Structure 1
Amino acid sequence: MFLFEWGLLVLLSPLPVVIRVLMPVSPVATGKTLQLFPEFFSDRALISLVGSPARSFWWGYLLVWFLLIVAAARPVWQGEPIEQGVSGRDLMMAVDLSGSMEVADFMLKGHKVDRLTATKAVAGEFIERRMGDRVGLILFGEKAYLQAPLTFDRKTVRTLLDESVIGLAGDKTAIGDAIGLAVKRLKDNPKDQRVLILLSDGANTAGSIAPLQAAELAAKAGLRIYTIGIGAEEMTIRDLLGSRTVNPSQDLDEPTMRGIAEKTGGRYFRARDVRELEGIYRLLDELEPIERDKRYYRPRTELYPWPLGAALLLSGLIYLARRHQASA
């Protein structure tokens, strides 16, 4: 489908002819103008352009004017309507940045990494896959902060997650505050579209609201929460006495994490290594999408460069022709 964005400008096309007809040039004006445009006004060209070299220039100038008007009217080619792939999920992710997330008990691509690095890698890929969803990001430690509101711009959300550092929000863990912030940010969304994915490796040690109390508020608000407890169960450390095996996740409060999920109709997952963490996010990928009204868009191609380029090219040709005529 071809159309003009500013189609009314096309009405200006005959303006030079109208001016020529309604405003005939007086002999005095002709004499003055002759010095500037001799090809138009020599040999009574204003009275009759037939047979005069100026005739071709006159029509050339008219064509340049018309091409400029067409370019200014912004011609556009509009394609067929295309349905956008919008599934309708609104996913808020809450990631723990407390001091315990720096424990290096995960293996990623053959290298030992801390928990936050593993989370960035796996959760980042999860964010990239959520095409058609709006994704938001909450970072929490001693306090909870909204790092990215719900947006279709998944690339920016992943960048903000990658730029997060341990201790950015404090060394303690305020799980309840993170849930409360998610409830606040999602309260205006339809109840069946409110989902929070909360990842933590410890117990609630800070904040103004208890996690289970916050979960009750979330349940009343229709917010479904999926919780992920992250951290290995065994880790070998070396010291002066040799090596020993410890449980680096002994502070993980699984009963609370499980209770949060159960109260809100979600699920609790346990990630002891990168493989389990990847599997959890693949399961989350299978969340049934919620239908919204279908959205369509039409691909648009701007065509104004073509008439504009033609006008510039024709102007150049006229200029060269005038110089050639003058030197002849």
Structure 2
Amino acid sequence: MLELQWPWVLLLLPLPIFMRMINQSQSSSHTTYWQYNELFNTHEKPRLRQLSISLLLLYLAWCILIAGLSRPTWLGEPNYIPPTGRDLMVALDLSGSMQIPDMTLNEQPADRLSAAKEVLSQFIQARKGDRLGIIVFGSKAYLLAPLSFDLATINQLVQESQIGFAGEQTAIGEAIGLGIKRLQDIPAEQRVLILMTDGANTAGRVSPLQAANYAAKQGVTIHTIGIGAEQMVVQGFFGPKVVNPSSDLDEPLLTNIAELTGGQYFRARSTQELKMIYQLIEQLEPTPSEDVFQRPQTSLFHWLGLASLFTLGMSLLSSGRLTLAGKQSS
């Protein structure tokens, strides 16, 4: 389907004809600027025919130029974009304990943050049609990326985040509060916050349960993830020993936060369990939204511009031949 962005430009099409009529109405003694007027009195049919062709090409070039200036755009067939209607905020813990190497990547030991970033990267890449935002928190909570469809940039920002960027402690309440603030301008049924941490609330002025209660009032669903293995072999003074690296994880708190807001609490003891958790979250029933259609647009201006230049060149070439013929006959 063809659409004109500036259709009013087409009003300029008869402008050369009006100029010609004005010039013809002037006195014959008045100097005219129409370069072909001096040839109108000739009765030589070949020259008149060539003159008509030149004038016709000149006016055709004008018409093509005006058509191009009207900004014609070809609209392709509409493409249907499946709506999901989800706006997801992910709060990622960057406290010092996230550097504990009790996870694995490619069958090699890895710290918790590296495993979290790997799994979160896969989750982000699968969010086609969703808006995603990232919050990082430690002693303070900070917005790393606002809600956006630009998943590539969000993924890059996540991969560049490092332990200690937000401090060494864990401010869970402030992370929830910031998530509520960033989700407050969207419909209540679409507000989802995923909170991933490996510890307990040790910083911040906001109580996590107070923040969770306020989130429930604002219609924000919070899914919490507790990350960290339950057993880890460390080298002690008397040799290797088995310890629980997740002894600081406050599971009752994370469970209460999820229950208060209508979400779920998940426990990730390994990288594989973390992947399964994000797969479960991915399958959450999305909220239907209005259908979205996208139509590809192709501008035709440059093609018409080239055609106008070509036609103008043909007109000038014909005019040059006509002038040469007039000189030879004289």
Work out whether 1:86 is the aligned partner of 2:88: no
Pairs within 5 Å for 1:302-317: 302-317=299-314
Work out whether 1:2 is the aligned partner of 2:7: no
- Residue 319 of structure 1 and its aligned partner are, at CA, apart by 4.5
What SS does structure 2 have at the residue aligned with 1:217?
Answer: helix
Match of 2:155 among 146, 154, 158: 158
- Residue 327 of structure 1 and its aligned partner are, at CA, apart by 6.9
Query: Counterpart amino acid of 2:149?
Result: F
The range that moved more, 251-260 or 290-299, is 290-299
Query: Counterpart amino acid of 1:126?
Result: F
Match of 1:290 among 270, 287, 291: 287
The corresponding residue for 1:271 is 268
CA RMSD in angstroms comes to 2.4
The corresponding residue for 1:29 is 31
What SS does structure 2 have at the residue aligned with 1:282?
Answer: helix
The corresponding residue for 2:175 is 178
Report the Cα distance in structure 2 between the residues aligned to 1:227 and 1:109, rounded to whole angstroms: 25
Query: Counterpart amino acid of 1:234?
Result: Q
The corresponding residue for 2:16 is 16
Report the Cα distance in structure 2 between the residues aligned to 1:246 and 1:102, rounded to whole angstroms: 16
Pairs within 5 Å for 1:11-90: 11-24=11-24, 26-27=28-29, 29-30=31-32, 37=35, 40-42=36-38, 44-45=39-40, 51-52=46-47, 53-90=50-87
Report the Cα distance in structure 2 between the residues aligned to 1:250 and 1:139, rounded to whole angstroms: 22
Match of 1:233 among 223, 230, 233: 230
What SS does structure 1 have at the residue aligned with 2:85?
Answer: coil
Task: Give the number of aligned pairs.
Answer: 321
Q: After superposition, what is the alpha-carbon deviation per residue over 1:197-231, rounded to whole angstroms, capped at 9, x for unaligned?
A: 00001111101112122212212222111101111
- Alpha-carbon contact 2:192-2:221 (below 8 Å) kept: yes
The corresponding residue for 1:189 is 186
Report the Cα distance in structure 2 between the residues aligned to 1:97 and 1:49, rounded to whole angstroms: 91
- By relative contact order (CA 8 Å, sep 6+), the higher-ranking structure is 2
- Relative to structure 1, the CA distance from residue 89 to residue 48 in structure 2 (aligned partners, 3 Å threshold; closer, same or farther) is farther
Report the Cα distance in structure 2 between the residues aligned to 1:277 and 1:319, rounded to whole angstroms: 73
Q: After superposition, what is the alpha-carbon deviation per residue over 1:219-270, rounded to whole angstroms, capped at 9, x for unaligned?
A: 2222111101111222233466543332222211111111111121111111
Normalised by the size of structure 2, how large is the TM-score? 0.88
- Residue 46 of structure 1 and its aligned partner are, at CA, apart by 7.1
- Relative to structure 1, the CA distance from residue 311 to residue 49 in structure 2 (aligned partners, 3 Å threshold; closer, same or farther) is farther
- Alpha-carbon contact 1:49-1:55 (below 8 Å) kept: no
- Alpha-carbon contact 1:90-1:133 (below 8 Å) kept: yes
Query: Counterpart amino acid of 2:46?
Result: G
What SS does structure 2 have at the residue aligned with 1:178?
Answer: helix
Report the Cα distance in structure 1 between the residues aligned to 2:88 and 2:52, rounded to whole angstroms: 69
- Alpha-carbon contact 1:87-1:132 (below 8 Å) kept: yes
Report the Cα distance in structure 1 between the residues aligned to 2:43 and 2:287, rounded to whole angstroms: 73
- Residue 119 of structure 1 and its aligned partner are, at CA, apart by 1.2
- Alpha-carbon contact 1:219-1:263 (below 8 Å) kept: yes
What SS does structure 2 have at the residue aligned with 1:118?
Answer: helix
Query: Counterpart amino acid of 2:282?
Result: D
The corresponding residue for 2:298 is 301
Structure 1 residue runs of 5 or longer lacking an equivalent are none
- Alpha-carbon contact 2:51-2:319 (below 8 Å) kept: no
Q: After superposition, what is the alpha-carbon deviation per residue over 1:259-295, rounded to whole angstroms, capped at 9, x for unaligned?
A: 1111211111111221111100000011001112223
What SS does structure 2 have at the residue aligned with 1:8?
Answer: helix
What SS does structure 2 have at the residue aligned with 1:51?
Answer: helix
Percent identity among equivalent residues? Answer: 47
Work out whether 1:257 is the aligned partner of 2:259: no
- Residue 48 of structure 1 and its aligned partner are, at CA, apart by 7.7
The range that moved more, 53-62 or 219-228, is 53-62
- Residue 78 of structure 1 and its aligned partner are, at CA, apart by 2.0
Report the Cα distance in structure 1 between the residues aligned to 2:109 and 2:289, rounded to whole angstroms: 43
Query: Counterpart amino acid of 2:311?
Result: L
- Residue 190 of structure 1 and its aligned partner are, at CA, apart by 2.6
The corresponding residue for 1:141 is 138
Query: Counterpart amino acid of 2:66?
Result: I
- Relative to structure 1, the CA distance from residue 28 to residue 48 in structure 2 (aligned partners, 3 Å threshold; closer, same or farther) is farther
What SS does structure 2 have at the residue aligned with 1:188?
Answer: coil
What SS does structure 1 have at the residue aligned with 2:101?
Answer: coil
Structure 2 residue runs of 5 or longer lacking an equivalent are 326-330
